[in-house]
Amino acid sequence: MNDCELCRGADGESVASSLRWRVVRVDDACFPAYYRVIWKAHVAEFTDLAPAERAECMEVVARVERALREQLRPTKVNLASLGNMVPHLHWHVIARFGWDSHFPGPVWAQARRVVEPAAVTRLAVPLARLDLAVHQAINLAAQ
C-alpha cells in the first residue's frame, strides 16, 4: 500500500528480515534501543495471522527482547502493538532505563527530564554491536 509508511519501508535501520517479517531499529534520540518487528504483509491485527505466523512473529519479538536484556540490562523492556496511527501489524520493543527522559511513563507521554549526556552514550554497548546482537539472536530462530 503506497500510503502505508511501513509498507514503503521508510521506518528505520534494517537489522534483520525474512520473507514474512523485518526488524528495524527506530531512529529516536530519546530511546536509542527502540526496535520494531514488522509483519511484511499488510494486515492490521494480530489475529489476521494464521496460528503458525502468530507464533513466528512472537518468537521474533521475544528474541529481540532477549538480546536487549542481555546486552543492556535495562530497567524494563516495553512491548507494544498499537497500530492506531499506522494500521499495519508491528510490535514496538523498547529498552527502558530509570534514567531515560520519560521513565517510568510511556515513551509517548510527556518527557519528565532532560537526559545529559545523550541517551545513546549511556548504553552499555554501541548501537552497531547492539544491532549485531539482535540480528544474531533472530538468526538463531531461523536455523
pLDDT at 115: 95
Compute the distance between CA of residue 2 and CA of residue 131 in angstroms, rounded to an integer: 28
CATH of segment(s) 5-142: 3.30.428.10
pTM: 0.93
Domain range annotation of the chain: 5-142
The grid coordinates listed for 123 are 548504553
Compute the distance between CA of residue 64 and CA of residue 134 in angstroms, rounded to an integer: 6
For the chain, 143 residues long, the average pLDDT of each consecutive 10-residue run is 75 91 95 96 94 97 98 98 85 97 95 95 97 92 50
